[in-house]
Amino acid sequence: MQQKTPLFRKGEGVLLVFFVMALSIASVSGAISNETSVSQAQIAVSEVRLDPEIFMQDDTGTVLVTISNSGTETIDIDRVELLSDKLRVVNYQTYDQVGLLGSRNSLQFTFMIDADVEDGTYFPIFYVDVTGAGSLRYPVPVRVDDTDIMVSVVDAPSTFYPGSKEQITLAVGNSRENEVTSVTVTPKGQGMRTTQSSIFVGTLQPDEKKDVTFEITAAKASDLVFDVSWRNGPNEHHTLLTLPVVMGERRVAAELVVNSVEVTQGGSYTTIKGDVTNAGLKDAKAVTVTTGAPAKAVDPNPVYVIGALEPDDFSSFEVTFIAQGSSTVPLIIEYRDDEGDSYQNTVDISLRNAAPAVPGSGTSGSGQTFTAGGPGGQGNNRRAGGFFSFGSGISRVPFLEIAVIIIGCVAVLVAWRKGYAKRIGDRFRK
């Protein structure tokens, strides 16, 4: 009987089985490797945006990352994370299951982070896990800088006068390297009244500065605090500027002085004439002159309206009143400043030396002239100075007397030049 020859010996069969298995494993491994390479080449980070662009310490913000599929095949994305051992990622489990990313399409992922760290630059890792085809890692630079914005005083008075409106100008500048938004300046302080409750500045770009001006009326010495609120991304911040308010005398204002006062007693009323001069450095508006109790203002001039007086300007006035049994009466001068605030000066006028009116003269008589001071009613009495005595008004200049004197001097000079004076002298000697 013919013996059959086996195709493989027993040992050779075992080797063949292992060889076939090795080829299969190598083929599968090669396919996975090629797929991973293709998938990683298809996806890429196309955009990164941070809000705010630069964080401040303890700020909360967002990191938005966009990935794009530039290949021709759909990619199955398992999960996406933002990994950091310094910054706290609030929504780290939001993208545990993502899904498919089609060809030529993009996906956006937004992570919220807390910058509870010191100043510096940090690099959280944006991680994409592709199902069965590897992963993508991308470092995202996040900068933390606690630089504040700047607030400074451009112009402010050294002292405040009670009830007077003063202007204060501030400069608000952005010294950060990213823009800040919603900048608003609000003044605060006890005893302070402001025309503007706040001023909205808006957005400030890096190195940009804007000026704001407030009108402040201070009732007492206190600290005036300017609260500048602003936003860095979604985060609100406050910068404070404190300005001490010192009360003092009003140096730059209208100051009304009464002088050249004449008091005359008529038949049924008394008349006070004089001048009002603005000795201050600002205009006086709506100036009026009248008398106060115990005097009673009566016609024809109970209230004398002067109007506006510029610095170094003056105007005459005449008021009439009844004050039976009184030795002095208050003369009241009221006016307003440029802001419309009202002021009042009172001058006590003596009636003891009031002169009687001259009948038929059409005036109240010459009377007694004296100077009354400014605010507070203090002044120095002085009598009229005789022939050349006249007040500060142009209507009181004695043109006639001056003309007579000039003509007389010219006549004497002409007589002396013509020899008339010598001839007259020779006659008297003979």
Q: How confident is the model at residue 420 (pLDDT cuts 50, 70, 90)?
A: low
Mean pLDDT of the chain: 80
CATH number of residue 213's parent domain: 2.60.40.10
pLDDT at 92 over 70: yes
Give the DSSP H/E element, type plus range, for residue 26. helix 10-42
**Residue 22 covered by a domain:** no
**Are residues 205 and 289 both part of a single domain?**
no
Q: What tens digit of pLDDT does each residue of 239-262 get?
A: 999 999 988 765 567 888 998 899
CA distance 295 to 298: 9
pLDDT for the residue 75: 92
pLDDT of residue 371: 35
Domain match, 404 and 354 both: no
Helix 420-429 crosses helix 399-418 at what angle (to 10 degrees)? Answer: 70
- DSSP string across 100-137: EE-TT-EEEEEEEEE--S-SEEE-PEEEEEETTS-EEE
Is the whole model's pTM more than 0.75, yes or no?
no
Domain count across the chain:
4
Q: Rounded to whole angstroms, how far apart are CA atoms 387 and 401?
A: 8
3-state secondary structure of 47: strand
Percent of the chain with pLDDT strictly greater than 70: 76
Confidence of residue 394 (pLDDT cuts 50, 70, 90): very low
For the stretch 360-382, pLDDT in tens is 443 333 333 333 333 333 333 33
Of 144, 160, 182, the one marking the end of a domain is 144
The token duo for 247 is 């009360």
The phi, psi pair for 215, rounded to 5°, reads -105, 115
Based on the fold, state whether residues 370 and 265 are members of the same structural domain: yes
Whether 191 and 222 have beta carbons less than 8 Å apart is answered as yes
The answer on 348 and 260 residing in a single domain is yes
The count of other CB atoms within 10 Å of the CB of residue 401 is 12
> If you compute the radius of gyration of the chain from its CA atoms, what whole number of angstroms results?
48
Do residue 413 and residue 333 come from a single domain? no
Q: Is there a single domain that holds both residue 72 and residue 126?
A: yes
Of all residues in the chain, the percent with pLDDT exceeding 90 is 51
Beta bridge partners of 318: 273
Q: Is residue 330 classed exposed, middle or buried when 0-12, 13-18 and 19+ CB atoms within 10 A define those classes?
A: middle
| Domain presence at residue 121 | yes
CB atoms closer than 10 angstroms to residue 277: 21
The CATH number covering residue 93 comes to 2.60.120.570
Same structural domain for residues 260 and 368?
A: yes
Residue 220 sits in the same domain as residue 262: no
Are 368 and 298 in a shared domain? yes
Domain boundary among 121, 144, 167: 144
Domain that holds residue 416: 396-422
Report the pLDDT averaged over residues 45-52. Answer: 96
Residue 383: C-alpha distances to residues 262, 357, 369, 389 (Å): 10, 18, 6, 9
Distance (Å, rounded) from C-alpha 278 to C-alpha 287? Answer: 10
Same domain, 402 and 380: no
What pLDDT digit, counting tens, does each position of 147-200 carry?
A: 999 999 999 988 888 877 889 999 999 999 999 999 999 999 998 999 899 999
Q: Is residue 60 scored above 90 in pLDDT?
A: yes
- Beta-bridge partners for 61: 113
Is residue 391 situated within a structural domain? no
Are 73 and 118 within one domain? yes
Q: Residue 150 belongs to what H/E stretch?
A: strand 150-155
Place of tokens 């010996």: 9
Please name which of 186, 252, 241, 250 lies closest in space to residue 218, comparing C-alpha atoms: 250
Residues 167 and 136 grouped into a single domain: no
Q: Which of 26-35, 70-79, 106-115, 418-427 has the highest mean pLDDT?
A: 106-115
